[in-house]
Amino acid sequence: MRDAVRATAAIAGLGITEMGKVYGRTASDFAGEAIALALEDAGLKAHDVDGLLVNANQSTESVPTLQFSLGLTDLTLVNVMSAFGSTTGTMLQYAAHAIATGQASVVACLYADAPLTEGGSISQSGYNGRRFNAPGLAGLRFAYGDYGPANSGYALALRRHMHLFGTTHDQLATIAVGQRAWAQMNPRAQMRKPMTIEDYHASRWVVEPLHLFDCCLVSNGGVAVIVTSPERARELRQPPVYLRGFGQCAPGDTARRERDPAVQTGATKAGAMALRQAGIELADLDVLELYDCYTYTVLVTLEDYGFCEKGEGGAFVADGKLAPGGALPCNTGGGQLSSYYMWGFTPLSEGVIQARGQGGERQAAKHDHVLVSGNGGVLTFHSTTILSKHEGDA
């Protein structure tokens, strides 16, 4: 363990709405409820909030409209942020900086969305037929069947990893099955039915080599956290969760960069930065909450953080060490594969629960330091956040 910088901010409140196939409500409805729940959790009121950071999505109303509906006035920090699933870490870093410099004292950070419509369809706001006639590189990709927006890109990255390193579907299945086992202990999880390796293999192809159970869920809902100073957090209702380390890295658009996404992602630099700021090593981490839009994302993130050598991620996870009872608790609420899909707020929300020691049946025995990762685009952005129940060295 190295010398650490003491935390300048802490998470004091967490609000999670009902998740999944929850119809008849807008993203703004979920946003309002999530923030109200987070404030109640912290023991604060709307008038205490002077900062609002919103994770952009397809369906949230404009910030002024949202601010009005939430009853928030005279905000000194407002922003809509967009780095896809890595936005959460970026948002927390921004909030912590604002608090440390006096630009804000209580910041609400929010993600809410409602892409599911009754009958099982998904809102098509993110899909535009004109894209298929796009000029340049985008048009070339579509001409060769890369319709995106994400499944095909991750399928290509996984296929490359399989080709280079011999990664197998049985190894990926271990990730999916382990996370389903965690989800069975999470009352908020959308998918709580037990899953076997055979179930994984029997699931349909989405984009080969991605099975259905390699892919994240789609959810309606909202999550919010309240960030404030460590001093104020200690006076509030819940155990403070200190923000000890941050790291970001944006390697760039997968289709436009020379670096092979199967070989290295932004986790390499972002992870090292966050650990260095927190003053800890990989061995000091007790719980991992990794962004898991796909099983492959978990595997390649583990490699790039340095838990194993490049190309050895499949062998590393094959013994079930990430599952309940394993040596390295990972995605302890079920992750986005089995619990709910709120972009980076899925791993963050479970990270807060674990750091507080409020996980119930699924609570990790040791939870001093929790790593939360975020991933955006097709391995285009990465963020790492270190949560801790300790403000400084411990």
Which residues are designated catalytic?
Answer: 291, 341
- Closest Cα to residue 149, out of 214, 221, 207? 207
Nearest 5°: the CA angle 165, 169, 174 is 105
Q: 51-55 and 106-113: which strand pairing?
A: parallel
Neighbours of 308 (CB within 10 A): 16
With tokens 């993600």, the residue in question is 111
DSSP secondary structure code for residue 84 in this structure:
G
How many Cα neighbours within 13 Å face the side chain of 200?
A: 24
Amino acid code (one letter) for 64: P
Short-list 102, 103, 63, CA closest to 82: 63
How do strand 287-289 and strand 241-249 relate by DSSP bridges?
Answer: unpaired
Q: Which two tokens stand for residue 137?
A: 């590189």
Torsion angle of C-alpha atoms 154, 156, 157, 158, degrees rounded to 10: 90
CA-CA-CA-CA torsion for 363, 91, 78, 341, nearest 10 degrees? -60
Question: Which candidate, 157, 158, 160, 164, places its Cα nearest to that of 309?
Answer: 164
What is each CA distance from 78 to 66, 110, 121, 229, 241, in whole angstroms?
11, 12, 33, 18, 23
